[in-house]
Structure 1
């Protein structure tokens, strides 16, 4: 058993959104094999008060409050020539906390979750495992392509500077981890990094199961459900596109169809969609499983997506028919158990067909659950992490230090 410093950009509990789900399962898995020291940011009250829950996995935990306004981070980025993403998470207390743990504890490795956090790890310290999850620079490059004027310039600048930073971090890391083979290949191509590994997302297939105990919200029989964090740009753009370009086509055939947007922190733009015919915005819900279970169709209409989408895996695990954009489906080995559409007309047609043919919808959902259970359970995903970590602990920490 060795000591590992686990550094995360957001408190990895409760595991109720994409990044927290992944970071929680990584933390939990590492804690089953090592002593883990957690250092993480808290963004608000919801991130606090989880000491007892995290104490089941972390030998020690340090939570640093982060409340830097975006405008301040942007100004710092322009003045310093750095990416906004890094300036937003640049924090002296976090650096001190990291150095403090490395000084106090016999840290054998530093596991960093999310690229913005690598700036807090001092050079020349213990071996670094960098979980980029997705390639953020590619995400901003995608934003830039759709941008205009000064915003396009700013997004292109962010993509360029982040790519340089990502390459620098990868050069000093024992391994750089990505959530899918496609992301890993893109990273290798764009940065020239050599030590790149894939550790996929998984899913709790016992918890996300049609027969698991959960409350049901009582949706209508023609409910089309989307779940996600609703202040996250790709989710906002995806549901806006669906409500404006896809749903009207569906309602031409099924006037009773309702698009249900489920997720916390809906922006004003998302809330405004709720005033459109056939659109419902729930805000935060205690448990998304009931909403998924009652969906006639689960949709993932993302226009920009990286890696493996938990929302797709969750819909599959709940044995619901899933219709996804090509972007949302790209990283998932679904073997044809979800419907994939390249444009608004195709997505609307796929959904209308499933609404009309409930037997086919049931068969597709059952096949999806079989596929996700066989392919994406967390134990299978974590075996890849074990292979990455094993070379670091072939000898005791003290011997390596000597």
Structure 2
């Protein structure tokens, strides 16, 4: 297949879940298919990001596009103006007439026979008429994320704004999913949500994967017996909410039993109040972006996923499992992953229960080792990226067949009308 892959950013540095999933999938797909990677480019990525694109595509096409920096005056102005827009803000800011023209022109020249929209955001620039088969790769059910933000928000003004974003997203996402020949979700739960909420007929799911060769204990770091670790981009709202919740409501309860407990937060762009908290409280260590998360994971006695808001699946859980770490997560944090409470990880949904589960693995070495060993065995056997990419390619081939069936049906209708 000749695949035109649509995105809103370059992939390097490969430092967050969505980038990791896309990078690993494309590396596998590139072996058997021609991949053109068409992306918006805000200029933030360096030359290395452009040069290393050859790792995952045969051709890179960049469309210049600017978005407002978070927390800037322009950003807040756009949020206010979005009150009068039918589009949710996270979609509106990626509108690009130039990207739409580029897609249309390549379509007219028949340069691709498969268009893949990676995440919901690029689809705002997909022309109404596309001759090639189309796939929407949904890493999340975006409306679900906004609904959960709305549900946990306590500030009345923010809650009202989030309600509006949720309802706009629900309508846009429903209509977008119905436009594509095939929608690919990353979990059975997301697939069933899109079938029931959006009445999408052509939807399938592929599992989340992990690089089981890369994420493996190396024995180069000494484990700190009361150190916890969380990894993830700290400019993603669900991760920010998770750490706010954990530091305010869970950590103090753990500290009552283990005064020397520490939490290491590894991930790019930590929010200002977290940085300030780490200055005041030496038990909270904030690294910012790092080149390699594995040493921080290996030093930790347990991996925590206190996520209350989100959709899709958490790659970070599989990475921790592959590193043989005991994982304590909320149910939402582990949503969509075929793992069981008490088998591959521990689940807890209240501050009291979460603290208790963390204390269990920090004080019971045998329990921690057994959880880590079972978890690692599961991901190594079932969730390598090669299998995941093969499933995705099968979904794309199904989309091609569906498009051909639609064309045949249209031709037949035209012939019947002509005959009459």
CA distance in 2, matches of 1:232, 1:68: 16
- The range that moved more, 364-373 or 379-388, is 379-388
Tell me what 2:2 maps to: 3
CA distance in 2, matches of 1:28, 1:89: 25
CA-CA distance at 1:185 after TM superposition: 1.0
Instruction: Find out whether 1:226 has 2:230 as its counterpart.
Output: yes
CA distance in 2, matches of 1:334, 1:267: 31
Tell me what 2:175 maps to: 168
CA distance in 2, matches of 1:47, 1:254: 44
- 1:146–1:392 CA distance, 2 compared to 1 (3 A): closer
* Match for residue 248 of structure 2 among 239, 244, 248: 244
The answer on whether the counterparts of 1:219 and 1:291 sit within 8 Å (CA) in structure 2 is no
- 1:104–1:71 CA distance, 2 compared to 1 (3 A): farther
Instruction: Find out whether 1:211 has 2:218 as its counterpart.
Output: yes
* Match for residue 309 of structure 1 among 291, 309, 314: 314
Structure 1 SS opposite 2:176: helix
Instruction: Find out whether 1:129 has 2:122 as its counterpart.
Output: no
Write the mapping of 1:245-324 to structure 2, written as runs, cut at 5 A.
Answer: 245-274=249-278, 275-324=280-329
- 1:330–1:323 CA distance, 2 compared to 1 (3 A): same
The answer on whether the counterparts of 1:199 and 1:385 sit within 8 Å (CA) in structure 2 is yes
Q: How many residues align?
A: 396
CA distance in 1, matches of 2:361, 2:371: 9
Tell me what 1:352 maps to: 359
Structure 2 SS opposite 1:334: coil
Write the mapping of 1:18-97 to structure 2, written as runs, cut at 5 A.
Answer: 18-46=17-45, 48-69=47-68, 70-71=75-76, 73-97=78-102
- 1:310–1:47 CA distance, 2 compared to 1 (3 A): farther
CA distance in 1, matches of 2:238, 2:226: 25
Tell me what 2:165 maps to: 158
Q: Which structure ranks higher in relative contact order (CA pairs < 8 Å, sequence separation ≥ 6)? A: 2
CA-CA distance at 1:225 after TM superposition: 0.5
Task: Provide the aligned C-alpha RMSD in A.
Answer: 2.3
Instruction: Encode CA deviations 1:328-355: one digit per residue, 9 max, x unaligned.
Output: 0121112321111121111111111211
CA distance in 2, matches of 1:326, 1:392: 33
The answer on whether the counterparts of 1:302 and 1:325 sit within 8 Å (CA) in structure 2 is yes
Tell me what 1:112 maps to: 117
Instruction: Encode CA deviations 1:261-290: one digit per residue, 9 max, x unaligned.
Output: 111111102212312352111111110011
Instruction: Encode CA deviations 1:228-270: one digit per residue, 9 max, x unaligned.
Output: 1011111111111111111111111111111111111111022
Instruction: Encode CA deviations 1:74-108: one digit per residue, 9 max, x unaligned.
Output: 35533432211211111222223323333445210
CA distance in 2, matches of 1:72, 1:109: 38
The answer on whether the counterparts of 2:11 and 2:49 sit within 8 Å (CA) in structure 1 is no
